[in-house]
Amino acid sequence: MAGKSLTMLAVGDVILEAPQGEFYLSKVAHVLKLGDVVVGNGEVVFTARGVSTFVDMLSQSPGCSPANMGALASAGFNVITLATNHVWDMGALGIEDTIIGLRNYGITVVGAGMNIDEARSPAIIEHNGTRFGFLNYNCVGVRGQWATQAKPGGAYVHIIAHYEMNGANPGGPPDVYTFAEPRSLSAMADDIRKLRPFCDILVVAFHKGILHSPDIAMYDQQVSYAAIDAGADLVMGHHAHYLKGIEMYRGKAIFHGLGMFVPAGAEQKMKQMRERQPITAPHISGSVDHWQDPASKRTMIAKCVVDDGKISRLSYLPCLINQQEQPEVLKNDERGLEVFDFVDEITRRAGLNARYEWEGDEVMIHSDQT
């Protein structure tokens, strides 16, 4: 099945709630268009007729204008993951409009559907003789976002959190243990094993991780390792709106968190939320004031070169989100070094084994495993 050398590019959360979506992608489109396969996470749905489903949730999205789907296509995206904690915000119509609309623009979708079987179905695209397979699962948010046999929504892996008292001080900070519920984890592994014979490169994307933090939760590694054990070639994480470290496991790369990529309209929403909800601390998970943290503006484009049906080269392109909510690709200079140093620091702090070095304006990803 394998063919010539190809490039896959991948980014994290894309929010295009503001009009004129092309503007927000204008500084990165020239780079994204160089990719043969370009993947982004569709954080919220695209609809003009959806119905609000979680009226009591401050963070609910009203959806993006359907016109902004064209901005994704124009910027070079041809795969969008949809299993997020916002996929059901605008109900069945929001999911239907998003899936049909993106497909009409020639964009492959994965992770959501009109029932659980559709949501768990893989996406396969072929480019010059190489087949790329994609699966996508949500690990965060309320259960109402999940698809069932009778309801649209996203594919999921059910994550359980256990809080253990640390010390004898009631009300004090607990130790937190998170892990995947075995049946949903097994179902994910079955999906991967079924897909494996039909593609050269198998990518699993998870909507996962501690929000607004570079820290790695216990389940982050559990679900990622399980995906690779079942046959995945690459694991990508998003949701936290914050970069996380990179890890190599059994020779395969895990991007634990690709960060926010396009927050168009997000800052305005944060301002509205600040007016409705008091702020506790800017770095606490769930705080609506997280955009005041400069680190939240650091992001990346993951880059994988594929030769003869296998990933032969891994790197990332450092990026920063500017004041106009546009991601910009950086060079090997002072601004690029800001992102490089941050990724290196959070990788080491998490005890992960990826190591980095500049090659031109790309950051190569290696493993310190021997």
- Report d(CA 244, CA 343) in Å as an integer: 7
Q: Kindly report, residue by residue over 35-77, the tens digit of the pLDDT.
A: 999 999 999 999 999 888 875 566 778 889 999 999 999 999 9
**β-strands 354-359, 201-208: how paired?**
unpaired
Structure tokens at 338: 């800001």
Structure tokens at 109: 């979708």
**β-strands 108-110, 79-81: how paired?**
parallel
Q: Higher-confidence residue: 286 or 210?
A: 210
Token pair 């046959």 is found at: 231
Q: Is residue 357 part of a domain?
A: yes
Q: Tell me the CA end-to-end span of the chain in Å, nearest whole number.
A: 31
- Report d(CA 131, CA 196) in Å as an integer: 11
Average pLDDT for the chain = 92
**β-strands 112-113, 108-110: how paired?**
unpaired
pLDDT at position 56, please?
A: 57
316 strand-pairing partners: 302, 363
Structure tokens at 66: 């359907």
pLDDT at position 272, please?
A: 56
Cα→Cα distances 308→5, 6, 91, 133, Å: 7, 9, 42, 15
Q: Structural domain of residue 298, as residue ranges?
A: 6-367
On the question of pLDDT at 105 being above 80, the answer is yes
Q: Is residue 184 part of a domain?
A: yes
Q: Kindly report, residue by residue over 210-247, the tens digit of the pLDDT.
A: 999 999 999 999 999 999 999 999 999 999 999 999 99
| C-alpha torsion sign, points 101, 18, 73, 317 | negative
Q: Is residue 1 part of a domain?
A: no
Q: Is residue 192 part of a domain?
A: yes
Q: Kindly report, residue by residue over 170-201, the tens digit of the pLDDT.
A: 778 888 999 999 999 999 999 999 999 999 99
The domain tally of the chain equals: 1
- Report d(CA 215, CA 350) in Å as an integer: 7
* CATH number of the domain to which 360 belongs: 3.60.21.10
Half-sphere exposure of 37 (CA within 13 A, CB side): 28
DSSP 8-class letter at 180 = E
pLDDT at position 275, please?
A: 56
- Quick one: angle between helices 218-230 and 182-195, nearest 10? 30
